[in-house]
Structure 1
Amino acid sequence: MASTLLPLLVTLFLAFSVYYLQIAEAEPQQLSTLKLNSRILQESIAKEINENPGAGWEAAISPRFSNYTVAQFKRLLGVKPSPKKELRSTPVVSHPRSLKLPKSFDARTAWSQCSTIGRILDQGHCGSCWAFGAVESLSDRFCIHLDVNVSLSVNDLLACCGFLCGSGCDGGYPLYAWRYLAHHGVVTEECDPYFDQIGCSHPGCEPAYQTPKCVRKCVKGNQIWKKSKYFSVNAYSVKSDPYDIMAEVYKNGPVEVAFTVYEDFAHYKSGVYKHITGSQLGGHAVKLIGWGTTDEGEDYWLIANQWNRSWGDDGYFMIRRGTNECGIEEDVTAGLPSTKNMGRWVMDMDADADVSF
């Protein structure tokens, strides 16, 4: 009996060891309890950045995080790294170099009829950035491609994707979010509004909220859940090359991007961000809406965050383009809007679009 169990135990031990090493490699350096309980916003960090002539951006003590500890701030960084196996099986989109791209581009002005592009939301107490980036981008693309101005529900994706997308308010995978949009769709924000309506207006943003329950019922009785669904045709990654990312945004609209956040990013006020100082805290997902170059010659990406307008440059920020700053060009995900389930006005279009993956 012992002789038959030994090989099994050895196999299990080796498997566990490999798994443990993978987790250890994926996790940023552990922060001490003292560090976690300290304030995320530090005058010393802001001073170091503002006195650095090469920083290229301005730091400030933002009202959004004025009472936050490092631990509380970390909760908002809800991007889990996509498993390499899944990335290998995901279509990667690139664009022909024949496309002439402008030196600067802003989706808000390119598609001024689309009100969702310029919205700045608030993820509140929840590490739901992975869901915001996907749903906001798809909302924009419905307007851009199908002339449908609709605000889609982050809450549907956050609450109903479950373990397939990750851990809800404790983080998720942008790629799996887009797959959910293709397979299951999301209802409108009117049908299923975001659960955390308080946002972060009160000190410390406590308590940390649990992931909302999936109810699958519209808050208004005259709306039907299944009929309120909007779908993505597909889920894909964009090649990690600045030209391909720009071409994707130029042709199809905003995309979801993920990047590594350091302590100094919480202090961002204006200018072109690049990491200057502070510890690595986690991964964050946002919506990339354009690009440009400053008068000083610094190339940047233009990005909408979801930490309300009291943070950053009225809720937006710029980050250095072309150098993969903080991994911003490594993890770009998107999908195209589907006409599935959208009613009689699109019967002459591809109402049976393939949403399988």
Structure 2
Amino acid sequence: MAEHHHRIRVYLASAILLLAVINTGIAAENLSQQKLTSRILQNEIVKEVNENPNAGWIAAFNDRFANSTVAEFKRLLGVKPTPKNEFLGVPVVSHDISLKLPKEFDARTAWSQCSSIGRILGHGIYTKLYGHCGSCWAFGAVESLSDRFCIKYNMNISLSVNDLLACCGFLCGQGCNGGYPISAWRYFKHHGVVTEECDPYFDNTGCSHPGCEPAYPTPKCVRKCVSGNQLWRESKHYGVSAYKVRHGPQDIMAEVYKNGPVEVAFTVYEDFAHYKSGVYKHITGANIGGHAVKLIGWGTSDDGEDYWLLANQWNRSWGDDGYFKIKRGTNECGIEHGVVAGLPSDRNVFNGINTSDDVLVSSF
């Protein structure tokens, strides 16, 4: 009997362990120390991509990572493999397949009144060659939500990445050292996020700093606006929902077309650091880690290749003025299986503010 109970305990422990982690495909390879200290930009990669007639994109050296090692580049990739329990209770949204969608779509022109959509992620922050050290998951979420506030309520606002990084705590991951995109959207729904004006990222306590070396700690959550004229709770903006988008291209396109940009997570390989233009697909190099960006549209290239259009956060010297295209319809690098979003709330948007004091985040 004791042996039987022992086997049951072992079985349950194994089941719990298996349930704890979802295989998202974004976990990085175990890289050797030699690999980590080598340069991320390599002539061999540029040559292999540009001499491949089926690549569909152009590789080049760029200023953004001119002196970066693989280890330094890796620190910018802040999406961690999401524990499966983070998705418990999270709805999966799909759309009517009869919805007629355009062959090409760009949120920047569809909602030209929304200045946030026309910016690369982080906008002014990355005019300097600073790193953001694993906070991509937060930038992708915060700026997608900012866009959606503008689309729904015609208000151009910038929401605070610092609030999310510092105040969501371990429930969102490890702050400046990486997190889970879906948890960011759940934080918006349950706790809201203040404006960038209230709690700016690029300050003495943010995790943006030269070269990301050494790795800076996540800033402390102080729940107080930098300006004495603003109140933390009155600066909060909320989501009414947090959800995954069904991974079919039609559903993703419909979501963007109806509600605005979404946050997507995907696997980054070495060759992606060399992207300059065209429709990216993985050609060569090791898996470095998971990254989150903002998907703003789609189209088809002159060569007939369907693509997604995305805003990155590695400065305008990287890629196509800070943007990139990636192959659409084949789940390239897992990009179609990692789409999350939510809808904005009118709470604190109009007059008649009705909020309660924020409490320490203990659960969702």
**TM-score, with structure 1 as normaliser:** 0.89
**2:95 matched residue in structure 1:** 95
Describe the superposition over 1:286-321 as per-residue Cα deviations: whole angstroms up to 9, x where unpaired. 000000001110100000011111111111000000
Secondary structure class of the residue paired with 1:131: helix
2:173 pairs with 1:166: yes
Where does the alignment leave 5 or more consecutive residues of structure 1 unmatched?
348-355
Shift in CA distance, 275/93, structure 1 to aligned 2, threshold 3 Å: same
Length, aligned pairs only: 346
CA distance in 2, matches of 1:246, 1:4: 56
2:68 pairs with 1:61: no
CA distance in 2, matches of 1:24, 1:105: 32
Shift in CA distance, 250/38, structure 1 to aligned 2, threshold 3 Å: same
**2:39 matched residue in structure 1:** 39
2:106 pairs with 1:106: yes
The 8 Å contact of residues 125 and 206 in structure 1, kept in 2 or not, is answered as: no
| Amino acid in the other structure paired with 2:226 | V
**2:48 matched residue in structure 1:** 48
**1:149 matched residue in structure 2:** 156
Where does the alignment leave 5 or more consecutive residues of structure 2 unmatched?
355-362
2:333 pairs with 1:335: no
Task: Report the alpha carbon displacement of residue 345 of structure 1 after superposing the two structures with TM.
Answer: 7.2
Secondary structure class of the residue paired with 1:269: strand
Match of 1:131 among 134, 138, 144: 138
2:22 pairs with 1:15: no
Shift in CA distance, 318/240, structure 1 to aligned 2, threshold 3 Å: same
Deviates more, 1:69-78 or 1:175-184: 69-78
| Amino acid in the other structure paired with 2:69 | T
**1:350 matched residue in structure 2:** none
| Amino acid in the other structure paired with 2:306 | D
Task: List, as ranges, runs of 4+ consecutive aligned residues in structure 1 with deviation greater than 6 Å.
Answer: 3-6, 20-26, 197-201
Task: Report the alpha carbon displacement of residue 341 of structure 1 after superposing the two structures with TM.
Answer: 2.1
Shift in CA distance, 201/128, structure 1 to aligned 2, threshold 3 Å: closer
Task: Report the alpha carbon displacement of residue 51 of structure 1 after superposing the two structures with TM.
Answer: 1.3
Shift in CA distance, 6/221, structure 1 to aligned 2, threshold 3 Å: farther
For the aligned residue pairs, the C-alpha RMSD in angstroms reads: 2.8
| Amino acid in the other structure paired with 2:349 | M
**2:115 matched residue in structure 1:** 115
Match of 2:256 among 249, 258, 261: 249
**2:75 matched residue in structure 1:** 75
Shift in CA distance, 196/41, structure 1 to aligned 2, threshold 3 Å: farther
Shift in CA distance, 245/21, structure 1 to aligned 2, threshold 3 Å: closer
**1:319 matched residue in structure 2:** 326
The percentage of counterpart residues that share the same residue type is 70
Aligned residue runs from structure 1 range 223-262, under 5 A = 223-262=230-269
| Amino acid in the other structure paired with 2:137 | W
Shift in CA distance, 175/57, structure 1 to aligned 2, threshold 3 Å: same
